[in-house]
Amino acid sequence: MAAKKNEQHPLRIEGYGSAGEGVARLEGQAVFVKGALAGEICQVQLLKVGKSAAWGRVTQVLTPVPGRQSPDCPRYPRCGGCQLRHMTYAEELRFKRQKVQDALQRIGGWTGRVEKIHGAEAPDRYRNKIQFPVADGPRVGFFRARSHEVIDAEDCLLQPLAATRLREAFKLWMERYQVPAYDERVHGGLIRHFYVRVNQRGQSLCAVIANGTDLPHQEELVQALRRAEPDLAGVVLSVNQEKTNVILGKTHRCLWGRDYLEDTLCGLTFRLSVPSFYQVNREQAEVLYGRALAFAGLTGRETVLDLYCGIGTITLVMARQAGRAIGAEVIPAAVEDAKANAARNGVTNAEFLCADAAQAAQTLADRGLRPDVICVDPPRKGLAPAVIDAIVQMAPQRLVYVSCDPATLARDVKRMEEQGYVLQRAEAVDLFPRTAHVETVCLLSKLKY
């Protein structure tokens, strides 16, 4: 007899899905169980039953495993920021390594083994950028899981305490002066998000994202934020009057102080404006880029091409051990930041192109450039077929692939194998502890015929 919605069954959890949910089987059908751990027996209520799978929730843990812990955040799991606070960190790392392994095997057809996962020394308070959505109340916090409902959050274990103090001062300013929050349903109100960025030295940069070109009681806001955080470097207004889910606006105006921070990564100094892309976990980013550099196998003579280079972080890290490094990025402001970062660090063997990855790769291929190593760090959607074609045309000996999505990575590994490249090594790096996200760095080498 087929399973039905709202039925309860005792189920043995056999493994994990890609989002960290437990996976069991019932009458030959996969059941995805949020909050369950591999190896446990749980009483599960079925919430949805489809033709090929079902989804449920734990109503009672009948046989727990050592990897279970009591969540240490009062808003978990209502808040959508974390997915894994019911796991010990050791169990979380085991899940993430297996997530990468499963994707590479099942989707990519790889028969090798993920060598290791690099866990974080500090799995809490690691985020150097926080974007708080704002709603009527005012509520300044985070979205409830799978919704746009804002949960007011006086603190978050993923963010630095400077962000906690600045958020409180910002909320009190909204309350005192009755500053209206933005309402996306009617495109009315003013305050959309409050943004905080913190560098290694503890300096902060704030931005108010507003549905307008000015703020009421602007001076009072600046003074309140400065009192809350003495190491505040600047306050920026980001104007976003579009009907969009994109957070930042296209124009930014400095209200006080300066509109950037500087931070050090892998011994290099980077200038970070409000829209600059920068890994949110600086310490683990150093591990990730260090592994990418090791996989590149540079001796000081090679030409390296870095696609999706952003503000030039990986390009400049590679340039110090290469003969020549070329970075490509589609966002003009990021390219200008990358050039400035190269000059700031005295790197003279790096150059940057403003083009999307496919255009840049094709342009360089048309010029007859034959890089020894290509490094890619694409967005979650992975590599477009045109990018893969251009990479294959340039025929590098080694391809270093940095990925934030194991599934698209595995798909691209399979595509590259069809073009004569074989996956040699893979390691995982945990840049986002307590969430289901994981980074991977892979080395693919060209087969010699």
User: Strand 41-49 relative to strand 8-12: parallel, antiparallel, unpaired?
Assistant: antiparallel
pLDDT at 449: 45
Is 266 considered catalytic here?
A: no
**How far apart (Å, rounded) are the C-alpha atoms in residues 46 and 340?**
55
**Domain that residue 43 falls in:** 8-68
Tell me whether residue 15 is in a domain.
yes
Do 251 and 290 lie in a common domain? no
pLDDT at 1: 57
From 311, 297, 294, 449, select the one nearest 373 (Cα to Cα). Answer: 297
pLDDT at 448: 62
pLDDT at 362: 81
Query: What are the per-10-residue average pLDDT scores of the chain (449 residues)?
Result: 86 96 94 96 95 94 97 91 96 98 97 97 96 96 90 95 98 98 95 98 97 97 98 98 95 97 95 90 97 97 94 96 95 90 97 88 82 95 92 92 97 96 97 97 85
Do 40 and 153 lie in a common domain? no
439: β partners = 429
Q: Compute φ and ψ for 174, nearest 5 degrees.
A: -60, -40
Do 400 and 300 lie in a common domain? yes
Residue 187's identity, in one-letter code, is H
- Structurally, how many domains does the chain consist of? 3
Q: What is the 3-state secondary structure (H, E, C) of 113-181?
A: CCCCEECCCCCCCCCCEEEEEEECCCEEEEEECCCCCEEECCCCCCCCHHHHHHHHHHHHHHHHCCCCE
Domain CATH number, residue 258: 2.40.50.1070
- Kind and range of the H or E run holding 236: strand 232-239
**What is the reported pTM?**
0.93
Do 136 and 116 lie in a common domain? no
Domain CATH number, residue 46: 2.40.50.140
Tell me whether residue 21 is in a domain.
yes
Tell me whether residue 276 is in a domain.
no
- On whether the CB atoms of residues 29 and 1 are closer than 8 A, the answer is no
Do 158 and 52 lie in a common domain? no
**How far apart (Å, rounded) are the C-alpha atoms in residues 239 and 253?**
8
Among candidate residues 82, 375, 404, 442, the one labeled active-site is 404
- Dihedral angle computed from the Cα positions of residues 285, 290, 293 and 299, in that order, rounded to the nearest 10 degrees: 150
First to last CA, the chain: 56
Do 401 and 377 lie in a common domain? yes
Do 362 and 404 lie in a common domain? yes
Tell me whether residue 18 is in a domain.
yes
